[in-house]
Chains A and B, each alone.
Chain A
Amino acid sequence: MEIAAAAALGKFIGAGLACIGMGGSAMGVGNVAGNFLAGALRNPSAAAGQTATLFIGIAFAEALGIFSFLVALLLMFAV
């Protein structure tokens, strides 16, 4: 019983810790979008052609946050 309780405790603490990863991904996405905006304001005519690249970059940065979210979910519901 004690071990089970400790396991449950660890599970939730681990899930909470995994959510820190989402913060990292948030910074990554913000970095991508912010730099895109900075570049776009310098050269607005080139911005339209690069939106696809922007979304690809955001997708890559975001995927890692989603992974940490997945880890949290796995700890909560599947472990």
Chain B
Amino acid sequence: MATEEHSDGLTFHPMDQFKIQPLFREIEPGSCVPAEDIVHGCLKWYEPTNATLWMGLTLLAIFALFVLGTRGRAIIPSRLQSVAELGYGFVHKMVEDVAGKDGLKFFPYIFTLFCFIVFSNFLGLIPGALTTTSHIAVTAFMAVAVFLTVTLVGFVKNGAGFLGLFWVSSAPLALRPVLALIEVISYFVRPVSHSIRLAGNMMAGHAVIKVFAAFAPLVLISGIGIAVTPLSILAIVAMYALEILVAFIQAYVFTILTCVYLKDALHPHH
């Protein structure tokens, strides 16, 4: 019975939407099994993939807003220009408020990250799109880049004084070594949580939407679908609304945490 109706059953593939595929060829099944040293069919590092496509679209969207949108240089801005100015002001204020005036040197760096994340989050909400920021590889690259930058800046600016970040001088002397250990661990966990938070949030929401979407065709299979299908469609709408919120908030959180880490590097003394 089960084998007969195999094609009619519900199919749950919540993770398929995150698959990285080459744009111009198919990876033959079995041609890429790294565990068995079969790599001839694997993705080459230079091949354009759907990730490349969506990163490219992100890039174009950013250029459209910040380069084309501001080409008028109007004192009284057009709509697009005021959006660009709003984004600029938003991140600028964030960096200045959190990291301080001397953090503004890193403003272009943080702004680049913010733009990339916010645009790929929103482009990823287009049905059928690949959310590049849902990939650990992407977020981990950015988080590690932030971590290395911040650590380097900390040591260049403060020298060995940067280690004072781990030595909580306001705590009782006996507690300080323990606290130092905890601080060191939490310092090195930063890039992990920083990257997994973003990727996990984007992945979770999209996967949940996909699971609800898989319930939607139940009406074609069984009578109970009359109740389940509208509910699942409603749930998709609700999740989508939540995802719009999350797409912005996660970009904001990634950026503001970058600012917080930068502040720690610039002013390591609590």
Chain A residues proximal to chain B, CB less than 8 Å = 52, 55-56, 58-60, 62-63, 66-67, 69-70, 73, 77
Contacts and interface: CB of A to CB of B under 8 A. Distances in A.
Nearest to A60: B193
Contact of B256 (A52, A63, A69, A77): A52
B163 interface: no
A78 to B, nearest CB: 10
Contacts of B200: 63, 66-67, 69-70
Interface string B151-195: 000000000000000000000000000000000000000000100
A66 B256 contact: no
For the residues of A in contact with B, the DSSP-based class is helix
For the residues of B in contact with A, the DSSP-based class is helix
A62 B204 contact: no
Contact of A77 (B15, B94, B98, B193): B15
Interface in B181-229: 193, 196-197, 200-201, 203-204, 207
A63 B260 CA distance: 16
A72 to B, nearest CB: 10
A24 B252 CA distance: 23
B98 A59 contact: no
A38 B203 CA distance: 32
Contacts, number: 39
A67 B253 CA distance: 16
Nearest to A70: B200
A18 to B, nearest CB: 13
Contact of A55 (B15, B193, B253): B253
Nearest to B260: A56
A52 B94 contact: yes
A53 B249 CA distance: 13
A16 B200 CA distance: 17
A66 B196 CA distance: 8
B270 to A, nearest CB: 16
Contacts of A52: 94, 97-98, 256
B204 A69 contact: yes
Contacts of B204: 66, 69
